[in-house]
Amino acid sequence: MRAILAFAAVVAVVPLLVSSNVALNFLVFTMIIALAAQGWNLLGGYGGQYSFGHAAFFGTGAYLTAILQVRFGLNSYPAFAAGIALAALVGLAIGSLAFRSGLKGSYFALVTLAFAEVFRVLANAAQVTGGAAGILIRLQQDPANFQFAERGTFLWVAGTMVTLALMATLALERSRLGAQLVAVRENEAAAQALGVDVLAVKLRTITLSAAMTGAAGGLYAQYFLYLDANIAYGTWISVEALLAPIVGGAGTVFGPVLGAVLLHAIAEATRMIAGRIPGIDLVAFGIVLILVVRFPPRDIPGLLRRWRR
């Protein structure tokens, strides 16, 4: 808990010391990715259920947040909450279909990827989402509209959301559900033999995971005020949500945050060196993933433990 409070204090101080919009934009975007990655970490890191399609939850949260404001005139705060709720329901629905069918491992990963792609195609064609042209949230810089004139203020908001996610993850780690989840990850058959309701544990976890990732999508919509299908349901967010915990330490509280910071630092450095080549950041992420998988230690915590020795 002290580490979480220290993280919150650092996020609170940064906007007071940093005035560069470039730096603040980098930090806000990193916090949004860290929140999505924390959602993936609950399911993939603690539960061992690797998803390749967390874009389905990110995009659902983002799109409903935008659609309720633009099409129905709803205030951004209840729209944001509704986006989180719908993302959670989508997670529950996908989990029910996949886990009740006994899918796990690569089969579960491919199913989540398929759902994300289906959602992308539907969003690209639907009139309510703006189709291929996308949807633009009206600029109304007012805290009452969940829009802020200063990027530093939004960093405080995003940092608060990440802090709450860290606290929720720590609470899960120390809870009965967390112990059951790790037991399912390590040996599903043994956990079931000991009386763990494996299906219920998986469904609760994917619902929490989807809600957290949906919150990241809602933050993205409120910060950038524009969405299209390739942004909301694109492969990029599934890759980043998956890669950040793996690099930072899957199944740990701070792994997704560490991974998100490192990956985006690498992405920015790559762009500075190679220029604004489309997809160059994904190439850099792919190289990082290969190195992490190929050479031990396989994440930042492992590297730190090795260095201490």
Q: Quote the pLDDT of residue 197.
A: 94
The single-letter DSSP state of residue 145 is G
Q: Is it the case that residue 300 has pLDDT exceeding 80? A: no
Q: Quote the pLDDT of residue 214.
A: 97
- Encoding tokens for residue 253? 């509280």
Q: Is it the case that residue 296 has pLDDT exceeding 70? A: no
Quick: pLDDT tens for 194-222. 899 999 999 999 999 999 999 999 999 99
- Encoding tokens for residue 239? 């890759």
Q: Quote the pLDDT of residue 100.
A: 93
**Residues 170 and 23: beta-carbon distance below 8 Å:** no
Which of left, alpha, beta for 104 (phi over 0: left; psi -120 to 50: alpha)? beta
Place of tokens 């944001």: 80
Average pLDDT, the chain: 91
Instruction: Determine what percent of the chain is predicted with pLDDT higher than 70.
Output: 95
Q: Is it the case that residue 134 has pLDDT exceeding 90? A: yes
The three-state (H, E, C) secondary structure of 287-307, written as one string = HHHHHHHHCCCCCHHHHHHHH
Mean pLDDT, to the nearest integer, of 124-135?
A: 93
Place of tokens 């029910």: 96
Q: What are the backbone angles phi and psi of residue 267, rounded to the nearest 5°?
A: -60, -45
Q: How far apart are CA 11 and CA 155, in angstroms?
A: 7
Q: Is it the case that residue 223 has pLDDT exceeding 90? A: yes
The confidence band for 13, taking pLDDT boundaries of 50, 70 and 90, is very high
The single-letter DSSP state of residue 173 is H
**Residues 148 and 91: beta-carbon distance below 8 Å:** no
Q: How far apart are CA 306 and CA 308, in angstroms?
A: 5
**Residues 158 and 28: beta-carbon distance below 8 Å:** yes
**Residues 173 and 253: beta-carbon distance below 8 Å:** yes
Q: How far apart are CA 120 and CA 56, in angstroms?
A: 8
Q: Is it the case that residue 94 has pLDDT exceeding 80? A: yes
Quick: pLDDT tens for 260-291. 998 888 888 887 877 777 777 778 878 877 77
SS3 for 48? coil
Q: Quote the pLDDT of residue 297.
A: 61
Residues with Cβ within 8 Å of 171's Cβ and at least 6 positions away in sequence, in order, are none
Q: What is the secondary structure of 3-17 as a DSSP string?
A: HHHHHHHHHHHHHHH
Q: Is it the case that residue 309 has pLDDT exceeding 70? A: no
